[in-house]
Amino acid sequence: MVTAAKEFKAIEINRDDELKTILERRATYKIDTLEDARTEASRWCVIDDLKVFSDDFERYTIKKILDENEAFKGLNISEYKVLDLLDIDLSTLRNLQNVFEQNVSELFWNDKGEPYTKVEKKDYVFYTKNQSENRNLETINNFIDALDDLEDLVSIQKARFMQMTQGLLYLDAATAELKINHRMFIAL
- Domains of the chain, by residue range, sit at 17-120, 128-186
The per-residue pLDDT for 63 is 92
How far, CA to CA in Å, does 49 sit from each of 38, 70, 119, 125? 10, 21, 25, 35
Dist CA 94 CA 82 (whole Å): 17
Q: What is the per-residue pLDDT for 92? A: 96
Checking if the pLDDT of 6 tops 70, the result is no
Residue 1: the pLDDT is: 47
Mean pLDDT of 40-60: 95
pTM exceeding the 0.85 threshold for the entire prediction: no
DSSP state of 168: S
Look at the alpha carbons of 111, 113, 117, 122 in this order and tell me if their dihedral is positive or negative: positive
Report which DSSP code applies to 2: P
Which uninterrupted H or E stretch holds 39?
helix 17-41
Residue 3 has pLDDT above 70, yes or no: no
Residue pLDDT, tens place only, 13-27: 888 888 899 999 999
Quick one: average pLDDT of 49-53?
A: 95
SS3 124: coil
* pLDDT tens string 135-186: 999 999 999 999 989 988 998 888 888 888 898 998 888 888 899 998 888 8
The pLDDT, as a whole number, for residue 5 is 55
69-105 pLDDT tens trace: 888 877 888 888 888 989 999 999 999 999 999 999 9
The pLDDT assigned to 109 comes to: 94
